Structure 1
């Protein structure tokens, strides 16, 4: 009769103990977890096809090698697992959609990967115009569920992104200037805290925890579900525009005006510099991607968008994308542009809007990239996203969050791509070198913000320190109540942590 994996592992553990060799902690924890769930199919091991599927990430650079993968069916399973992890000091990681680029944030070596993929319910409530979304979902299913009712959600721009990590780290959406960060639109969190209790956090119950989770990442427990506000589904149109090098100064001048005026909450613009290597030299291409979240006539653009597409700034390419279609359709379209499987990482800073600073930062990127142009497949992007007064005010109107932003900033990030794993370390060096120079230049100019957006941050950046002293004090207070032993700081090693506690 064939022995089960559990039996083999148990016998192996006896041999190891008899020989005086201690059982590896991660293997022991997998064995205990398998025993807890009676050897069912919820614990997945290496060398199986399911393990390979569950351990595939959007960016290969974020993939690691867990000792096993736990696939809970519901919140009760997670509660039992967290109690077990705590009793036996089992290290683990939490994965929702696996879209973050940092190794160790939603992945782990020699530990347990808690995969939320089976927590995939999406239930719309027409009477409250809210939708309950379990954490293992991707935004595609959420959009597809609510939009037939004439509603949509403040969700990810790319509908393949997982729900959990995106929301807990803030969440940038096409609707941000109207409704704030995506997490500002959470009505209630369902969470398993460090002692295994399942709690609801909303503006009436566990109110301090409710606010802490709005940008507080995975510091307080495993969030298993979100009740989200829905909003009226309006049709939107997007565009992609490229500019020749001769238009760069005019483009940045217009970009600055757009950032500081913030006059139309239905518009959103991303400003992009693409660097590629052609004929042994770094080639620079500037572009924008904009979306207008209401019905519009592309022949008569809204005032906020007209400067970028009306011809006064010469452009080399104008593509109208997704003419008057839903938010979900735009999110689905973006999945066709942002392909998984490419080696990539990124780091971020935020700055106070300044024309000369933006121009100087681009020059630094181009100069630094010259030193790395021989790396196979090397390209890099410099992208910036304005966070304006309307965005911040919309979040505050919904009760505020943990991120501490009070004044407009530009979130700016550097994102390289390359071909081979052997170059991972040297590319990490490149990004750190660029961001370090950016920080110094911006600080010297008096234009550096301390804020770092978690979903774009590198693994070793300052992270939550930029939320500000008042916000950090609140987070520390909540942490002491709901995770006094710091389970989600020590047994969950990856991701941003509340500073100044342990």
Structure 2
């Protein structure tokens, strides 16, 4: 089980980065050299270009910045050529797969080169190996469409619009995770461009330490250009959304807690997420997302999710947007539900499963968030996701990852939305106040655990240091071997970094 104490940078196990930080080159000069390297064939565009705006779009409006230029590689060799140029000339750059990062500067950059991988979106499925090769710039929509015609699917994003690269390198929660583990556990091979431009493969036979480090290691070791993914057979997929009044909240949370600490392991084809929200008018709702990855009779649902569907918990509305359909179709539905274009921030933490603590944390969330209800377009969300025994076992059966989870936990996240850039500073204050009070409450109860999920992490959180001493030590050794100049710690300013780098 995790301890409350995180792994600190000052630990004797974590040496500092080698050498002094690289001095950044002039971004305009870097863009010109990059453009020349590709013979000015249109792979590098500037703010005056008609295509610049389309390439510089993000799910969260608050994540958008103004890069000096945008580079769109067509293939892995293009990426290699660019990285060699960046390393040689100390060019600052950012890497964008799908642009769903909540944090400004993580898949965007102000003064530097944005490498947009969107044109590298090819997906091929092998009927022989039963694997899919997926370029890093693909969206999960592309992947589901390509493989589901063969009656298989992948352990991929819940939202079909999310980019493949960032999702898998951060871990990857899937509707299928209770049965098959994290999305990253189901990667068979990473094709990656290193800081010196070398193109290597990392898998269970070659570059094995790098292979494990990439599973949760984000962009700290290089640019992954292609993933080889295992596929699985899913007969059908049903997704339900229930809306419950506040008067039903206690009963709902108790039912979800019972499911999360027992029933989920009885039937891992099921998947449940709890989410509460309210807006600037203080109109609130409690939502339950329940899914099942096999044929399901709606009039007689599987026992583990039946309490959420049979009316025993008073519900204002129960919708079944996906009935015995496909995982890909559900991903498109969730994308429509999670509308783009707002300003947003998200933070995460994890706890030892405890019902009374969950209720207390919800109260803290309401109390802090209500102080910001006068912000235009304000909306706040509180949610949790169980990671139970079979999820953890599935992960270990495939070799494990860098995230260090050994025992069941609840991953929690809080997310806020607002309308105007003028409120960014104030909403940043909410981010700090809210996560501090939530963590202090869990710590006082003796239930705060170290792990924090990278893909839900806020910009001020130090995610990777919370993977545990052994995992962080191993990642440091991999970093020293594969990126000794710390190119991806210095020239890539955004993202969650390995402690000491």
2:163 is equivalent to residue 167 of structure 1: no
> After superposition, where does 1:3-402 map in structure 2 within 5 Å?
25-261=26-262, 262=264, 263-278=266-281, 282-402=282-402
Contact in 2 for aligned 1:65/1:110 (Cα 8 Å): yes
CA distance in 2 between counterparts of 1:213 and 1:229 reads: 16
Matched residue SS, 1:385: strand
Q: Which has the larger radius of gyration?
A: 1
- How many correspondences in the alignment? 476
- Alpha-carbon RMSD across the aligned residues, in angstroms, is 1.2
Contact in 1 for aligned 2:237/2:292 (Cα 8 Å): yes
CA distance in 1 between counterparts of 2:293 and 2:178 reads: 10
Unaligned runs of 5+ in 2: 1-23
CA distance in 2 between counterparts of 1:345 and 1:80 reads: 34
CA-CA distance at 1:207 after TM superposition: 0.8
Deviation per CA, 1:266-287, whole angstroms, max 9, x where unpaired? 1111101111232xxx233212
Contact in 2 for aligned 1:140/1:331 (Cα 8 Å): yes
CA-CA distance at 1:376 after TM superposition: 1.1
Contact in 1 for aligned 2:25/2:92 (Cα 8 Å): no
Contact in 2 for aligned 1:68/1:112 (Cα 8 Å): yes
Deviation per CA, 1:149-190, whole angstroms, max 9, x where unpaired? 111111101111111001100011110011100011001010
Contact in 1 for aligned 2:25/2:90 (Cα 8 Å): no
Matched residue SS, 2:226: strand
Contact in 2 for aligned 1:147/1:233 (Cα 8 Å): no
Deviation per CA, 1:105-129, whole angstroms, max 9, x where unpaired? 1000100001111112111110000
TM-score, with normalisation over the residues of structure 1? 0.93
CA-CA distance at 1:24 after TM superposition: 7.3
Matched residue SS, 1:171: coil
Structure 2 partner of 1:431? 431
CA-CA distance at 1:371 after TM superposition: 1.2
TM-score, with normalisation over the residues of structure 2? 0.93
Unaligned runs of 5+ in 1: 1-22
Matched residue SS, 2:283: strand
> After superposition, where does 1:387-426 map in structure 2 within 5 Å?
387-426=387-426
CA-CA distance at 1:296 after TM superposition: 0.5
Contact in 1 for aligned 2:280/2:376 (Cα 8 Å): no
> After superposition, where does 1:449-488 map in structure 2 within 5 Å?
449-488=449-488
CA distance in 2 between counterparts of 1:234 and 1:45 reads: 47
Deviation per CA, 1:54-80, whole angstroms, max 9, x where unpaired? 110011111111100111111111111
